[in-house]
Each structure stands twice: as C-alpha cells, then as structure tokens.
C-alpha cells in the first residue's frame, strides 16, 4: 500500500539521509515540505521532488527553535493542503571525550537532537488533532541510541533520549490514532560520517578513513549503509503497512548492533 496523496514534512532534508527520505516519500506518491537551513540545498531537493510528479515546498527553519517548527507545519498545511507525516530527521554529531564536553557544546546538541524532536512531536500531534485525523510521527535515533560508543557519548545520550520520547509519545497519542516510531541507522556514507571519522582520527591519531573502515568491517552484510537504505525503512514507517506499530525504534544497520 502506498502513501499516494499524503503530505509529509522532512527536517534536515537538504542533504544526506533527509534528502533520500524526501525523495523516497515523493517517489511513493507523497507531497513534501523540505525543511533545512540551507536554501540552495533545499531548492535543489525540491526540484528533484517535483521531477517525480509530487509537489514540493521549502521552509527554512532551525529545529531547535520551537516557534519555527510550528511555523513549518502551518506552512505545510497552507501550501500543500494537508499534513499527514512528519520525519524529525535533522540532527548534528558531537565527537569528543566526555571529559572535554563543554556546557555550550552540550546545550547545542541537546537543543537540536532532543528538543528539535520534541518540538516536532508536539507540533505534529497538535496539528493532527486540530485536523481530527490520524498521523505518523517518525524520528531519527541511531545505533548510538541502543549502545553508547566511546567519543560519541553525548551524541549517544541524545539518541537514547529520542527513543524515550518516542515511547512516551506513542503512549500519550495512541488514543488519537497517532503512531510514533523512530529509526536507528548505523554507518551511513554521508557527510556526518566523514566528520565523525575526521574527528576520531584527530583525537586518536588514527589515519583518515581508518575509524570508518573499522566500523564498516563489523557490519554483517559487508558494506556501509546508504541513505536510500534508511529511506526505504522510513517509507515503511510512513505507510499504512506500519499502522499497528508504535513506540518502536528498530535498528536498520546491516547487522552491526544487535538487540
């Protein structure tokens, strides 16, 4: 079953996993709001969405700003005539020993990775209820939301928090017909992993690419993940085949972390 005719908002959709999710949902028939901070990248993704035959609109927003998240959803409803799915995909990484974490760095990643998801959950649920309809809330966690990794401690903490929010929200909104799930990617070949590898090399003295190769070497399926691998699973979460699933944060990592 498809999501043809549905309206989806994807945060962090200007590149990487978010871009792949926006394009997959568009190919599956949904109209898309692309939310990001980079207008040039957003517009490029919007054109790619339109080339599939789906409608697209863009909205510049910082997900750590609650008012901007609410405004993005209002924009979606106005421009695309509805609102059915939110994908809280936007996030940032932090690669450092726990001893080096500063209040400023801690607050920034918490505001983006945790508060940004919370505002998305709040705003989406409020809009679904105003429209007296069911809806899908989908958020980005990580393998680091199931296991804490050295040098990724604060990032891991934010992704564990996304799982907690997902479980609580699923229980709070189930009676309204709103499902809340998350997805937990592994080692994806994106700019974020380029930065993770670079910082790990800087901290540990490893060669560039060595940390990335070490993680990829532990994947049972024998290759790094692509953004499209993640997008395929998000498409399932966005569609009617997952209607009986809520409060879950499955691993989609090729066989790296097992729970």
Domains and CATH numbers, the chain: 7-186+226-252 (3.40.50.720)
**What does each of the 259 residues of the chain score in pLDDT, given as a tens digit?**
589 999 999 999 999 999 999 999 999 999 999 999 999 999 999 999 999 999 999 999 999 999 999 999 999 999 999 999 999 999 999 999 999 999 999 999 999 999 999 999 999 999 999 999 999 999 999 999 999 999 999 999 999 999 999 999 999 999 999 999 999 999 998 778 888 888 888 898 889 888 888 888 999 999 999 999 999 999 999 999 999 999 999 999 999 999 9
* H helix intervals, the chain: 16-27, 39-50, 66-80, 103-110, 116-130, 153-173, 191-204, 210-217, 227-238
- Concerning whether 236 is annotated as a catalytic residue, the answer is no
Cα–Cα dist 105/40, whole Å: 27
Please pick, among 155, 173, 183, 212, the residue that the annotation labels catalytic.
Answer: 155
Residue 215 has a pLDDT of: 86
Cα–Cα dist 93/95, whole Å: 7
Cα–Cα dist 92/130, whole Å: 31
């Amino acid at each position: 079953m498809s999501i043809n005719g549905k309206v989806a908002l994807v945060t962090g959709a200007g590149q990487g996993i978010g871009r792949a999710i926006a394009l997959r949902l568009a190919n599956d028939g949904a109209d898309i709001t692309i939310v990001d901070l980079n207008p040039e990248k957003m517009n490029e993704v919007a054109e790619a969405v339109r080339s599939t035959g789906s409608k697209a609109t863009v909205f510049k927003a910082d997900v750590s700003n609650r008012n901007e998240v609410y405004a993005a959803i209002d924009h979606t409803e106005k421009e695309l005539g509805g609102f059915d799915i939110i994908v809280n995909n936007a996030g940032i990484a932090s690669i450092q020993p726990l001893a080096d974490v500063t209040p400023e760095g801690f607050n920034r990643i918490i505001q983006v990775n945790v508060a940004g998801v919370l505002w998305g959950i709040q705003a989406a649920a409020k809009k679904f209820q105003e429209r007296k309809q069911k809806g899908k809330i989908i958020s980005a966690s990580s393998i680091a939301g199931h296991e804490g990794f050295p040098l990724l401690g604060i990032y891991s903490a934010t992704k564990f928090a996304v799982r907690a929010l997902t479980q609580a929200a699923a229980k709070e909104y189930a009676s309204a017909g709103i499902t809340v799930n998350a997805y937990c990617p592994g080692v994806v070949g994106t700019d974020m992993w380029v930065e993770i590898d670079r910082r790990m090399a800087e901290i540990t003295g490893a060669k560039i690419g060595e940390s990335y190769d070490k993680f990829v070497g532990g994947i049972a399926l024998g290759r790094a993940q692509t953004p499209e691998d993640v997008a395929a699973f998000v498409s399932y979460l966005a569609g009617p085949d997952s209607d009986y699933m809520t409060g879950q944060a499955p691993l989609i990592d090729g066989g790296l972390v097992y729970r």
